[in-house]
Structure 1
Amino acid sequence: MSKRLLTILLLLGFSTSLLAQRVNYRQLVMQSQTPTIFIEDIILPGEDGKTTLAFIFRFNNDFIPFKKIPLNNNLNAPTDAEFYSTIRLNTEVFEGKLNRRNDPSSNSASRDVWKDTLFTNNFEQTQSPTNYASGTLSAPLSPGHYNFILQLAMMQEINERNTRRREVYVPDLATKKTGEIILIKDRQDDNLELMNMERNVLFGKDFYALIRIPEYDNSASYSVKVDKAKTSRKDTTSINNIHSAKLASGDIFQNSTVRINKSGTPSLNIIQGDQPYTYALVSIPGSTFENAPYILKLTKDGQNEPVAESFFRSYWPEMPASLYNLDVAINNLKYIVSEKELKQIDSGNNREREKKFREFWESKDPTPKTVYNELMAEYYRRIDFAYKEFGSQENPMGHESDQGEVYIKFGPPNEKERRFPESGKTIEVWKYPNRTFVFEATSGFGDFMLVGTR
C-alpha cells in the first residue's frame, strides 16, 4: 500500500527500472522529492477467539500540509511551535470479499479513527522526510474474509481521500500452521517499537524480528536466515544466504501473546504467562547488510518448509538523488576525478561500471566496517544542496554553477561575505581555512561567476 517505494538494489540503491532508463539528474531530484507515506496491515492475536487486524501508518512531514500558527488561536501549541497541521485517518472493515464491481458488503464489521494535531518549530521541519506523524488503527475480527477502506483528511478537508478497497483474510492464529514476522525498530524490555515502514528497514541500522512460532517444539533446533533476494514482476527469489543464526533460549517467549499499543508511537507489548502462543524476538544485524531486497526465514531442522517467511528491503529516507541511477551517479563524479579516470569508471557493461563505481567509493570509505559510506553520502548530498541553493532562472542547474562546484568540492565556507560596491557588480566572498573564493554577480537573478581565488 505504499505511495512511493523504490526497488533498491545493491549498496547504492540503484533501481532496476532506472538502470534501464535514460534519465537526467534533474528528473531524479524531482523523483527523490516525492512525498512518502507508509501504511501496513498486520495480523495479531486477539481476545475471546478473535484476531486483531491492525493498521500501522507513517506520514512523512513532506506529505502533510502545514500552516503558520495564527496569533489568536486555541491550538494549545508548544511555545516554540511556528507551524501546525491537523490529520485524521479512519478505517471501516466490511464482512466478505469484494464483488465484481469491488463494492463492499453492507455489513460493517469494525470502525476505528485516529486523529492528531501536529506542530513544527520551523519551515524546514514541515518539509522533512525524517519527521513524521504515526499511529495505529485496529479491528477485532472473527476469522474469515473481509474488505476494508482507509479514509484520510488533513487540515479540516471536507472530502476525505479514500484508498483503494482491499480484501484481507483474517486467519485463526490458534490453527494457522505458518508464523508471521513483524519488523521491530527498537526494544525496551517487553515494549517493542514497530518499524512502521511497511516491509522496509532503515539502511545501515540493526533491527529485530518478532516471529510467531506455531506448534513450538522445545526439543527442536530453529534458525533465522536472511537471504539476498532478486525481485521481478513475477516473483521474488533467494540469491544467496548472508546471515544465519540459531535461536537461543533467551530469544524465545513461551506461553505468551502480543498486544498493540493504541497511543503514542506504534508499538507492541509482549505479555507472558498462561497465554497460547510462542514468539521469538531475534536481533538482525542490518548494519552489515547492503542496500538491497531480502527474504527473512525461520526454519526448523529437519523440516523443508520454513516456519515463517517474509520479504523486506532497505530504505534510505534521504538518499541523494544521484544514487537512484548509475549513469547520473558516475557522471557526477566529474567534480573530483579527472576526465581520464571518469571514462575508465564509465566503461564496460552495467555490472562492470557499478563494480568500479563501488570500488572507487569503498577505497575512500572512512568506516569500511559498516555498509554506510559517510563520505559518499556527503558528496552527493552536497550536489543536491548545490542544485537547489545556487540554481536560478537563467541557470536552474545550481550544481553546475561556479558556486555550486566550489561547494561540492569544499563544503560550506567558514565565512561568507557579500559586498555591494557603489559602482560595479555585487561581490560575494567565501572564506575557507586555506583559501578564499571571490564571485561576481552576472545578473540580478542570483547568478555568480568565479573571478578570483587567493
Structure 2
Amino acid sequence: MKMNKLLVVLLLLASVTLTAQIDKSKYYSYGESLFSEVLELPYSNPDSARIVVLAKAANESLRFQKVKDGPNFGKYFGVLEVEILFQNSDGIVKNRSKISDTIYFKEYEQTLSKSIFVEGTKEIIIPRGKFDIEIKFDIKDNSYLNTKKHKIDFSKKPELYTPLLFNSQRSDVYTELQPFGLNQIISFDAQGAKMLIPAEDLEEANYTYTFTKKKDISEIALKWDANNEVNGICNVIRNVDFGFGSAYSDVKFDLKRNKSYNVLDIDLPGIKVIPGVYSLEISKNNEKVTNFEIKIEWVSQPISLNKLPYAVEILKYIATEQEIEKINNSDNVSEAFLEYWKEKDPTPLTPFNEALQQYFVRVDYAFFNYKTISEDDGAKTDRGKIYILKSSPNEIKEEFKDDRTLVIWTYSKQKKEYVFELIGAGDYRLVEIKEI
C-alpha cells in the first residue's frame, strides 16, 4: 500500500502543469506609463479660466490589492490618485485639486499591464494668469518621474482654444468620444482622429484648415513619408458645450447641445495619420486666424524598433537571408524595412501595420522574459523564438525523467508540443516538436 502511494507521488512530481497561458505580450508596451494634459474650455466669466486636466496611468505603475470579500471578491483593485497644483510666477499655490478613481480587474496579469490605462479628469475654475502646473501621480515608485509639469499662459481669452484630440473613426458621433489624453499627441495606431476646436463666438464665415507635416520625430529610427498634408473645410457646430467625465476608469467626452458655445470640427482620416510634428493652421475666408503644433507619435512603439539594425536582424525567424540582405544593402534601410512589412499588413490602406506591431511586441516580451545566463537577449533563445512565432502556449508542463529537466509548451489549436530541455544554468534548448 505504501509503495502504491509513493508511486502516485512520484508520478505527480514527474509531470507538473505549471500554468494555463494567455498571450502576455498584449499587455506589454515599453513607452511612457504616465500622461497628463491641460486644456482650456470656453467660460462665461471673462476674468476666469475654465481648465480641464486629463490624467492617465498604466496599470503597472499603480498599486493593486486583492479584494477579500463583498461583490468584487477575488478581483484586484487599484486606485488612481493624482494631485494637481497651480502655482503663479511667485511660486504661490493658487489652486490644489485631486483626481481619484478606483478600478477592478479579474486577472492578476492585467494589473501588471503596461498598455491598459486608468484615466481620470478634473475641471477647475481659476483666475486668469500664467501658471506652472504640477500633476503628481501617487504610484508604486514615488520618484521625481511621477510628476508631470506644464507651463501655460491663461492671461488672455483666446479666439480659438487649444484643439481637443479624440480617437475616432466616425465623423458624426459626438457622444462618449475617447480623448487621447497624450498632451497634444495623436496616437499613430489610431484608425482616425477627430479634432474639436472650441470657441465662444464664430462669425458666419468659411473656416478651413491645413494640417501639414513639418518634420520627423528625431528620436525614432523608422521614418514614414517625408511629406504629408491634409486640407479641408471645418464643420462649424453652434450652441454647444463640452463635458468630460470618467466612466469605468476611462475618460469620456460629450458634446452637449443647446448651450452657449461653438466648435470647429475636423476629421483626420486614418490613411493620413503618419508620425511627425505637424502644424494645424486655421483660416477664416482664406485669411490665417491661428495655428497649433500637434504631434502624431507611436506612443506604444516596441522598444525593439528603437535600433533599426537590431529590428532587421531579429527578422531572421520569418525572413530569408536574401530578404534581410536586401534591406541592409538598401540606400534607405527604414524605407526597405517598412516595404518588407507591407505585404503582411492586414490593413494596407492605412500606414499603421498591425502585423509589424504584433511581431515586435512579442520580441520585446521574449527579450525580457527568456534571457539566460549565457544569452542576455531572450528573443535570441529557443523559447524566445517559439514565443515570437507562436505567442503564448495554452499550457506549460515541466517533466523530470532520466536525469533530464524538460519543459513542454502545448499549442492546442495547432496540435503541437514544443519540448525544451534544461542545459546548463537556465538555458533551455528546443529538442523536439511533437504532433498531438
* 1:88 corresponds to which of 81, 88, 94: 81
**What is the one-letter code of the residue matched to 1:42?**
L
Q: Is the 8 A contact 1:137 1:262 kept in 2?
A: no
Aligned equivalents of 1:127 and 1:294: distance in 2? 34
* 1:426 corresponds to which of 392, 405, 430: 405
Identify the residue that residue 296 of structure 2 maps to in structure 1.
313
Aligned length: 393
Aligned equivalents of 1:259 and 1:140: distance in 2? 14
Map 1:339-350; keep pairs closer than 5 Å: 339-349=321-331
| 1:111 partnered with 2:105 | no
Identify the residue that residue 12 of structure 2 maps to in structure 1.
none
**What is the one-letter code of the residue matched to 1:447?**
D
- Structure 1 residues 312 and 214: CA distance shift in structure 2, 3 A: farther
Identify the residue that residue 292 of structure 1 maps to in structure 2.
276
* 1:209 corresponds to which of 187, 195, 217: 195
Identify the residue that residue 375 of structure 1 maps to in structure 2.
355
| 1:132 partnered with 2:117 | yes
Q: Is the 8 A contact 1:227 1:239 kept in 2?
A: no
Superimposed CA distance per residue, residues 195-251 of structure 1 (whole angstroms, 9 cap, x where no aligned partner)? 212222232321211113575332x32223322231579xxxx9744322223xxx3
* 2:387 corresponds to which of 374, 384, 407: 407
- Structure 1 residues 166 and 244: CA distance shift in structure 2, 3 A: closer
| 1:150 partnered with 2:150 | no
Q: CA deviation at 1:42?
A: 0.8
Q: Is the 8 A contact 2:404 2:421 kept in 1?
A: yes
Q: Is the 8 A contact 1:152 1:161 kept in 2?
A: no
Identify the residue that residue 89 of structure 2 maps to in structure 1.
97
Aligned equivalents of 1:413 and 1:150: distance in 2? 41
Q: CA deviation at 1:362?
A: 0.9
Q: Is the 8 A contact 2:383 2:429 kept in 1?
A: yes
Superimposed CA distance per residue, residues 326-373 of structure 1 (whole angstroms, 9 cap, x where no aligned partner)? 121111112233334323211255xx1111111111133233223232
- Structure 1 residues 163 and 369: CA distance shift in structure 2, 3 A: closer
Aligned equivalents of 1:286 and 1:415: distance in 2? 38
Q: Is the 8 A contact 1:93 1:109 kept in 2?
A: yes
Aligned equivalents of 2:104 and 2:148: distance in 1? 29
Superimposed CA distance per residue, residues 155-177 of structure 1 (whole angstroms, 9 cap, x where no aligned partner)? 898x999847754321443xx34
Aligned equivalents of 1:122 and 1:60: distance in 2? 15
Q: CA deviation at 1:58?
A: 0.6
- Structure 1 residues 347 and 214: CA distance shift in structure 2, 3 A: farther
Identify the residue that residue 17 of structure 1 maps to in structure 2.
none
Q: Is the 8 A contact 2:136 2:148 kept in 1?
A: no
Identify the residue that residue 56 of structure 1 maps to in structure 2.
54
Identify the residue that residue 264 of structure 2 maps to in structure 1.
280
SS in 1 for 2:84: strand
Aligned equivalents of 1:166 and 1:62: distance in 2? 24
What is the percent sequence identity of the aligned residues? Answer: 21
Aligned equivalents of 2:282 and 2:405: distance in 1? 66
- Structure 1 residues 254 and 190: CA distance shift in structure 2, 3 A: same
Q: Is the 8 A contact 2:279 2:291 kept in 1?
A: no
Aligned equivalents of 1:446 and 1:299: distance in 2? 63
SS in 1 for 2:86: strand
Identify the residue that residue 242 of structure 2 maps to in structure 1.
258
**What is the one-letter code of the residue matched to 2:64?**
F
- Structure 1 residues 153 and 379: CA distance shift in structure 2, 3 A: closer
User: Under a length normalisation based on structure 1, what TM-score does the superposition of the two structures give?
Assistant: 0.74
Aligned equivalents of 1:205 and 1:281: distance in 2? 17
**What is the one-letter code of the residue matched to 2:232?**
A
**What is the one-letter code of the residue matched to 1:425?**
R
Q: Is the 8 A contact 2:61 2:139 kept in 1?
A: no
Q: Is the 8 A contact 1:415 1:431 kept in 2?
A: yes
Unmatched runs of 5 consecutive residues or more in structure 2: 1-27, 219-224
Aligned equivalents of 2:51 and 2:418: distance in 1? 60
Identify the residue that residue 440 of structure 1 maps to in structure 2.
421
**What is the one-letter code of the residue matched to 1:225?**
T
SS in 1 for 2:138: strand
Aligned equivalents of 2:362 and 2:330: distance in 1? 28
SS in 2 for 1:357: helix
Aligned equivalents of 2:270 and 2:139: distance in 1? 35
SS in 1 for 2:304: helix
**What is the one-letter code of the residue matched to 2:381?**
S
- Structure 1 residues 440 and 267: CA distance shift in structure 2, 3 A: closer
Q: Is the 8 A contact 2:59 2:112 kept in 1?
A: yes
Aligned equivalents of 2:418 and 2:150: distance in 1? 59
SS in 1 for 2:190: coil
- Structure 1 residues 124 and 227: CA distance shift in structure 2, 3 A: same
Q: Is the 8 A contact 1:392 1:447 kept in 2?
A: yes
- Structure 1 residues 252 and 122: CA distance shift in structure 2, 3 A: same
Aligned equivalents of 1:46 and 1:296: distance in 2? 24
- Structure 1 residues 306 and 232: CA distance shift in structure 2, 3 A: farther
Aligned equivalents of 1:429 and 1:232: distance in 2? 44
Unmatched runs of 5 consecutive residues or more in structure 1: 1-30, 99-103
Map 1:230-249; keep pairs closer than 5 Å: 230=215, 240-247=227-234
**What is the one-letter code of the residue matched to 1:243?**
V
Aligned equivalents of 1:206 and 1:223: distance in 2? 19
Aligned equivalents of 2:318 and 2:381: distance in 1? 15
